[in-house]
Structure 1
Amino acid sequence: MLFRFPASTRFWVVSALLSIVALAGCALAPSVQIQPPAPSTIRADMPRANSIDVEHSQAFAHWVDEFRTSARAAGILDATLQIALDDVRFIPRVIELDQAQPEFTRPVWVYLDNAHSIQRIARGQDKLLQLRPLVEPVAARYGIPAEVLVAIWGMESNYGSFVGDIPTIDALATLGFEGRREQWARSELLAALKILQNGDIDRAQMIGSWAGAMGQTQFLPSNFLAYAVDADGDGRRDIWNSLADVMASTANFLASSGWRDGQPWGFEVRLPAGFDYARANPEVRQLSAQWTDEGVQSMDGAPLPALTDSSILLAAGARGPAFLVGPNFRAILRYNNSTSYALAVALLAQRFAEGPAVQTPWPRDLQLLSRSQLLALQTALNERGFDSGTPDGMMGPATQRGVRRYQLSLGLPADGYPTLDLLQRLQ
């Protein structure tokens, strides 16, 4: 009898499968029905592995069947469902990558070192020169600088050289079945089926990252439905093969996400002595002229460029560089909600335009907390009365507020940056 496992049980089954199957040296077959190893490869100590193989296969197949029913009710045709789901497969590697995203697991300076290699900067400048006839009309139409469009393209697919190699349908089905973000994955999988049904791309070409992001600028299926553009007029929105569609779709996304034409994304600044680091908070927004009145200065001493709704960003705490960022930085964050990513795009575009690199040294001696350490920090903060939300091992606004309150209680700069020293104090 087939039955549905709850999310927590599915995660245990997946984790057990990954470890036991790795020991057994067997591989998952590319279909819903995952086959056990051939008899000649079965060792005497493997009956538990076979049992979990079968159990996992049945559970995944049942999840797919249930999703098929809900997708049909949402208007997906049987022909589309057959093409998309008849050979769908579970991909263990997707789960591993989901738990090790570099923009959330590396210090910001390491992430930027990799993102801003000499080769990537030089190649991006070359691409800008080569593609100006294509990119500049798009930039003018949507009000997005060409440098920003090429920077996102460079970050997401190394200028179109690698769009990913994981079938989007399989990746999203894997994430949905695993259960940690099931509702999100189900929604994105349904959007992917709508893309197939619309005829924009076929299943074999719908490839991308482990997270379900697709094409040369890595749109999630829901964002594709909302923002993708058929710029070359061929009747399909093709962000895999049409560079015109890639650039127009990316520009449309940013323009629809609040980009303000004529404003910079932000810039590096110097903070005055005695600055209240609690004001380095994305919720504290004001005109750049008001920050000037508080003693915030540009790096070269020139007047701060005009920015509306701007806030101070400390990506590495009080010891690292400070940036004044505005609405356009937040538009990049909507593309990928990672401060490291948004800084990488903004600063890469700045380098394309012969602008400066970051001038203030990064505090490279600081140790970034691991996910388990951050989970311990959140738990300890909550136990001490400094509410940091539900402990999940991920840094978010609630955790930052809890860290700030704890820092204030100790008389430390309230920059909201979690450090190993803070964790040790709490413990």
Structure 2
Amino acid sequence: MGRGQKLTDLGIEEALMRNLAQLTANVKTILPFSGRLRTLGRRLLLTAAATGALLAVSVPAQADQGFSQFVSGFWPTAKAAGISSQTYNAVFTGMQPDDDTLRLMSKQSEFVKPIWDYLDSAVSDTRVEKGREMLKEYSQVLAVIENRYGVDREAVLAIWGMETNYGGFMGRHNVIQALATLAYAAPRRKSFWEKELVTALAIVQAGHVRFQDMEGSWAGAMGHTQFMPSSWKAYAADYDGDGRRDIWTSIPDALASTAAYLQKHGWQTGKTWGYEVALPSGFDYHMADGEKTLTLGEWGRYGIRRSNGKDFPRPSDNAILVLPAGASGPAFLMLKNFYVIKRYNNATAYALAVGHLADRIIGGGPIEGDWSREHLPLNRSETAELQALLNQRGFSVGTADGRIGPATRKGIRAYQRSRGMVPDGYASIVLLARLKLDG
């Protein structure tokens, strides 16, 4: 019996059973792809079973025609990349866009989380304790990984903790569905999403993970340590030698993959990510431009010391002075490994959280310096307002685009210096208020 066919000359029991069978098949077909349709199917099934009504029950398609055209049009690209029609059809039959991905990709949050709030959450006592438990539980695996890749075990654990809370939440989106949605609907980086989609299809085709188990974030980051498909292709490791690089269900594979990533981006074995430091009175904050590189010994000659009073173990290591919240917050001398972590996620707050969590896991204490929490960072629109005001005051920063770059930091420093303020180049709500009053 086809969908929508009227019932004629059928007994009640036979008609009901046929409708239920057809409905069950419909629900199973759409089950992996749409929670909303899954709920609808269950409701229809229960209604039919309860009432025994002689109705031809079917699940309305409500297909996104544009998405269907995208799927059809993308086939030649996938085929050229070696994807079989069997794989392609098995994956895309019945698929609809991921509603959550559509919602999140267009959401431009104006809120900027202050780095101190970010660190409070990312390096919570609970996450530190869980990390220490994982350090014990996977001690043998981590020892092998550390020996094989030369990446310190606490750094690998910290990334695992940051990305998915040690596997506690790896995302609830089918990666291929999310990537297909982005390739279809995202206004920017279309070619990027298409390449990631092809790579994800190849991963499934090669048998490293089943399509229905390929879970990740709404933007396609996958597994325990959240690799994009292209990163999986380049860096994922087969720790246990079973022929699969399984970052979804094999914790050893996921941890080894993370170590391989860090190794190939230049991780320096046995060295830390950085040091919290104290700056001397009268320090020249122009040196804290996020680029100036000196050895730790050279920084020491400017009066910079470790916050805990200890000596730098290797004074010849190169470092860059970073002030994540300007002169009003803690200061850090960042080493090579800090910037390797930033290759994983190019955000200062993220890399600082990973390094700090790694230290805490192996017994380190909290950050010693205080954050002046009234110096809140600016959101995008506030930054554009700040830039416009700097331009109006004669401190040219270029286009007021809401993005903090070298020109904006230079303009901020010039303004701060002209007003007798500490020229740290940090854009805060306090600075914006001062500019508004300084008409």
TM-score if structure 2 supplies the norm length? 0.78
- Say which of 54, 57, 78 aligns to 1:71: 78
For 1:183 and 1:191, the matched residues in 2 are separated by: 12
Partner residue of 1:353? 362
Structure 2 residue 332 is matched with structure 1 residue 323? yes
Equivalents in 1 of 2:348, 2:321: separation in Å? 13
* Alignment of 1:184 onto 2:192: yes
For residue 151 of structure 1, report the CA deviation from its aligned partner: 1.1
* Amino acid corresponding to residue 131 of structure 1 in structure 2: Y
Q: Is the 8 A contact 1:88 1:169 kept in 2?
A: no
Aligned to 2:218: 210
Shift of 1:365: 1.6
Matching residue of 2:3: none
CA contact 2:152–2:270 (8 Å) conserved in 1: no
Q: Does 1:123 align with 2:130?
A: yes
Please give the residue correspondences for 1:31-70 in structure 2 after superposition, counting only pairs within 5 Å: 57-70=64-77
2:318 equivalent in structure 1: 309
Q: Gaps (5+ residues) in structure 2? A: 1-29, 41-60
Name the structure 2 match of 1:85. 92
Q: Is the 8 A contact 1:388 1:400 kept in 2?
A: no
Q: Secondary structure at the match of 1:105?
A: coil
SS state at 1:365 partner: coil
How many Å separate the matches in 2 of 1:388 and 1:192?
40
Please report how far the alpha carbon of residue 372 of structure 1 lies from its aligned counterpart in structure 2 after TM superposition: 2.6
**Cα distance between partner residues in 1 of 2:101 and 2:405:** 23
2:182 aligns with: 175
Alpha-carbon distance between aligned partners in 2 of 1:84 and 1:400, rounded to the nearest angstrom: 48
Equivalent residue number for residue 369 of structure 1? 378
Q: Aligned equivalents of 2:353 and 2:108: distance in 1?
A: 15
Separation of aligned partners in 2, 1:404 and 1:75: 54
Find the aligned partners of 2:284 and 2:229 in 1 and give their Cα distance: 42
Classify 1:60/1:406 alpha carbon distance in 2 versus 1 (closer, same or farther; 3 Å): farther
Aligned to 2:157: 150
In the TM superposition, residue 237 of structure 1 has moved relative to its aligned partner by 0.3
Q: Distance in 1 between matches of 2:405 and 2:397?
A: 12
Of 242-251 and 306-315, deviating more is: 306-315
Alpha-carbon separation, structure 1, partners of 2:106 and 2:383: 14
TM superposition shift of 1:60: 3.0
C-alpha displacement at 1:167, in angstroms? Answer: 0.8
RMSD: 3.0
How big is the shift at 1:304? 2.2
Check whether the contact 2:32–2:212 (CA below 8 A) recurs between aligned residues: no
**Residues 151/86 of structure 1: CA separation in 2 closer, same or farther (3 Å cut):** same
Distance 1:222 1:123 in 2: 30
Gaps of 5+ in 1: 1-27, 39-52
Would you say the 8 A contact 1:88–1:170 is kept in 2?
yes
The more displaced of 321-330 and 83-92 is 83-92
C-alpha contact 2:294 2:318 (8 A) present in aligned 1 = yes
| Range moving further from structure 2, 207-216 or 381-390 | 381-390
Equivalent residue for 1:201? 209
Deviation at 1:200, TM superposition (A): 1.2
C-alpha deviation, 1:397, in angstroms: 5.3
Answering whether residue 295 of structure 2 is matched by residue 287 of structure 1, we say yes
Contact 2:397–2:411 (Cα < 8 Å) also in 1: yes
| Bigger mean CA deviation after superposition, 356-365 or 376-385 | 376-385
Separation in 2 of the partners of 1:84 and 1:285?
50
Per-residue deviation, residues 152-185 of structure 1 (Å, max 9, x unmatched)? 1111111112211111112222223121332332
Whether the 8 Å contact between 1:389 and 1:398 is mirrored in structure 2 is no
Pair 1:242 & 2:250 matched: yes
Pair 1:70–1:388, CA change in 2 (3 A):
farther
Partner amino acid, structure 2, of 1:120 = R
CA contact (8 A) 1:216 1:246 kept: yes
Q: Are the structure 2 counterparts of residues 204 and 405 from structure 1 closer, same or farther at C-alpha, using a change threshold of 3 Å?
A: farther
User: What letter matches 1:293 in structure 2?
Assistant: R
Q: Distance in 1 between matches of 2:89 and 2:410?
A: 48
Instruction: Pick which of 381-390 and 180-189 moved more.
Output: 381-390
Deviations 1:341-382 (A, max 9, x none): 111111011011111210011111222322332344455556
Match of 2:241, SS state, is coil
Taking structure 1 as the reference length, the TM-score comes to 0.80
Partner of 2:4: none
Distance 1:356 1:224, change over 3 A: same
* Aligned mates of 1:64, 1:404 — CA distance in 2: 51
Q: What is the Cα deviation at residue 404 of structure 1? A: 4.0
What secondary structure is seen at the aligned counterpart in 2 of 1:351? helix
Q: Structure 2: how far apart are the matches of 1:336 and 1:350?
A: 19
Contact 1:386–1:405 under 8 Å retained in 2 = no
2:432 alignment partner in structure 1: 423
Give the 3-state SS of the residue equivalent to 2:326 in structure 1.
coil
